[in-house]
Structure 1
Amino acid sequence: MLDDFLTRALIAGIGLAITTGPLGCFIVWRRMAYFGDTMAHSALLGVALALILDLNLMLGVFVVTLAISGVLLLLQRRNSLSADSLLGILSHATLSLGLVIVAFMTWIRFDLLSLLFGDILAVSRSDIAIIYAGGALVLAVLAAIWRPLLASTVSEDIAHAEGLNPALSRIIFMLLLAIVIAIAMKIVGILLITALLIIPAATARRFATTPEQMAFLAALIGVAGVVGGLYGSVQFDTPSGPSIVVAALIVFILGLLPANRRKTSSEQIAK
């Protein structure tokens, strides 16, 4: 069955969507979309450094994205610039620096567009194994830190009052985000990773009544986006990564149609 490239792409995409759904909920709740975008953009710098140092690409992306998140935390503590300014600087600087370094490496031939927009149709069996093993690890750790991370999302004071450690859970969450970016790079590409994290979660927020339900719905919506996107890619001969994001966007737009609905607890968390 795995000899069919489309079947491999479908299995890989579903595995990624199941992982990004719950993780994306916290990005939506904590208003970290720009932060996730910055980490995703830094992935290209990780690729460039990995090629120079002859390292595994996923390892290079993981290390650089984690380092960028650490640099951001240190700069935020100095209060010299606002958070959005720092994110803008780091986001565009790391992406541009990665592109410049790649341009200088004329002795290495690779498809830059596949890095930027993904190439899910080229996933191998080993890629699928990495996606599901990494996804299982991410979901297991996220389940373990769910309570302190959720409490700190609602209120840092509440988390401290309950004897939790919100700072540690936040650091672990950034670690999980770096892992997902490294895994997702080949499927949807550097420029589209954040979309796959945010769009399913934002769609699920309109229908979920609890945070846990929102995480489950976000995973299902992500899977629907993968299936619909791959179908559209085959039918209309469009790029697979962007097609997946467009399919998820269509689901989001359809979710906007019901005009009247009551507020849910998952929405109140984000306020």
Structure 2
Amino acid sequence: MVHFVGAGPGAVDLITIRGQKLIAEADVIIYAGSLVNPKLLDYAKEGAQIYDSAKLTLEEVIAIMKEAEEQGFDVVRLHTGDPSIYGAIREQMDELDKLGIAYDVTPGVSSFCGAAAALEIEYTLPGITQSVIISRMEGRTKVPEKESVENLASIGATMVFFLSAGDIKGLKEKLLNAGRDPKTLCAVVYKATWDDEKKFICTLDDLPDMASEHGINKTALIIVGDALSQAGYEKSRLYAADFDTEFRKAKENP
């Protein structure tokens, strides 16, 4: 069987208990070497076969899985963060379906959650923003026109950009073209939760210069939006003393 496992954002102890257990039991581990913390491989049992998928094609990855299946081995396919976000797992699942190989998915902590923790922010602040848009700049992988940066940015929600640190200047231009204020707060979090994590907050106008100054051009998330100010929000009604819930009656004189 093949287990797709989310490795978490970087810190070794942010993998799930289930994910750690699957790594420890796996006969074969295929991990995204360019992104996954290699220290997670310390959980592997002695004699486990370990492959770095950064050096492999899709066909080569599937061939390893097929051979493992024929030998009765369990495989862990270790993806960074949560495999459902830019994990390219659907194409692997489709190939496994053709081969009749069973698989399952273990979710992981996404790096956009790790970035929020690093910045000590809440993405969804009542009265400020209640939506988070996860997207990316267009590169060799195309982005549907309806999901262009300009179209998504016009909504005004908090935005988190993956895979976009290589063209921060272009991202700035697209956000400005969408009507975002040059003084909009932005954050760059490099390798969230890793030992060498870096984090910076600036305005949209200063974003490219700030990233250039600190040598950030990959392995970073870019957060854009009013949620970064963490000010001017409304308190949650759920915990208000005068608010009835299924579990608590409102207080008459709070």
Whether the TM-score (by the shorter chain) exceeds 0.5 is: no
TM-score by length of 2: 0.23
TM-score by length of 1: 0.22
Larger Rg: 2
Structure number with higher strand proportion: 2
Structure number with higher helix proportion: 1
